[in-house]
Structure 1
């Protein structure tokens, strides 16, 4: 069965190093490790393809270019085209409710206020898809949420995120090899 790994973020140099683009950062780290270029246009995004495991299953690595709030359009279009079930889609994204540099996997759940995930739930018609969230922490005093997520990481937070990315890449690999439950057991500790 094919799988889809979707990293959420916003297109353009202005957003490249922002907190909201941590999903793209993780997808890029995974692609680099496995020698995959995410450079093909389609599905309202850019994507790359690879084969995984002894059965050489197809894995699609997708970056929606719809801006965060419409991410579901891209994810659903790719899932329909490749006939990928929601349970075989792993969504990578930022989470305000996790400390900076923490990661958390889930099998399903609500959007938790994340507009990109809200869009995916609406477009897929279900909240039953796996996710890997990377903590970006709550806004510092005086910050609005929108300004916080669209701002670059400070040096300390950037180091924390850089430190967790290799572990997050391993969690994606575990999802592909052993499934979401095993990945949760190993990487949610």
Structure 2
């Protein structure tokens, strides 16, 4: 197993029609990381696109990945990438949208259940492990009686879009912190609210 390599998967749905949806915020975060690395996504036989590189010279190596499948069947590509790059679950970071966290909030955790998130459910089922790290990007609950499935497949509101670039940067920073300082140190920094 490679110990300086991190597989970072941004969950979402493929194609331009979904690109700006709330459900695709994970892919937005890995795109931000690829920009930082000045890396380009290329096709991989695992039915995904990947970008490889380091964020700092001599730092950890990253494989950034976006599955070519719909989110609820992303487990196959993620499991194939884990095997191809020989990455253990504790060096896999899955970046995903989270309804149970307020918008503009990032939370980090390792392991646990899928919490009703079909992308996580499929990754756990395909890989046989829930021990990967999650960067949970808060999108908040749908307003009124709107169904969650409809809410996540809508684009961010105009008000949210004003803050969204900062949220994406915060989540990308969290990925960097996990790889460079470890999950516990990253949680302390990310979960501690700055003074008002």
User: Once structures 1 and 2 are overlaid, which stretch shifts more, 26-35 or 16-25?
Assistant: 26-35
User: Are positions 1:32 and 2:35 aligned together?
Assistant: yes
Q: After superposition, give the CA deviation of every residue in 1:149-183 in whole Å (9 maximum; x if it has no partner).
A: 10101111222322222222211111111121211
Q: TM-score, normalised by structure 2?
A: 0.91
Q: TM-score, normalised by structure 1?
A: 0.94
User: Are positions 1:108 and 2:132 aligned together?
Assistant: no
User: Are positions 1:152 and 2:150 aligned together?
Assistant: no
User: Are positions 1:8 and 2:49 aligned together?
Assistant: no
Give yes or no for contact 1:53–1:177 (8 Å, CA) kept in 2. Answer: no
In the alignment, which residue of structure 2 is the partner of 1:86? 89
Alpha-carbon separation, structure 1, partners of 2:83 and 2:35: 26
Q: After superposition, give the CA deviation of every residue in 1:78-107 in whole Å (9 maximum; x if it has no partner).
A: 001111000000000000001111100001
Query: Which of 135, 140, 147 in structure 1 is aligned with 2:138?
Result: 135
Give yes or no for contact 2:6–2:87 (8 Å, CA) kept in 1. Answer: yes
Alpha-carbon separation, structure 1, partners of 2:57 and 2:39: 18
- The unaligned stretches of length 5 or more in structure 2 are none
Q: Number of paired residues? A: 189
Give yes or no for contact 2:111–2:130 (8 Å, CA) kept in 1. Answer: yes
Paired residues for 1:16-27 under 5 Å: 16-27=19-30
Give yes or no for contact 1:3–1:89 (8 Å, CA) kept in 2. Answer: yes
Alpha-carbon separation, structure 2, partners of 1:103 and 1:56: 23
Alpha-carbon separation, structure 2, partners of 1:68 and 1:7: 10
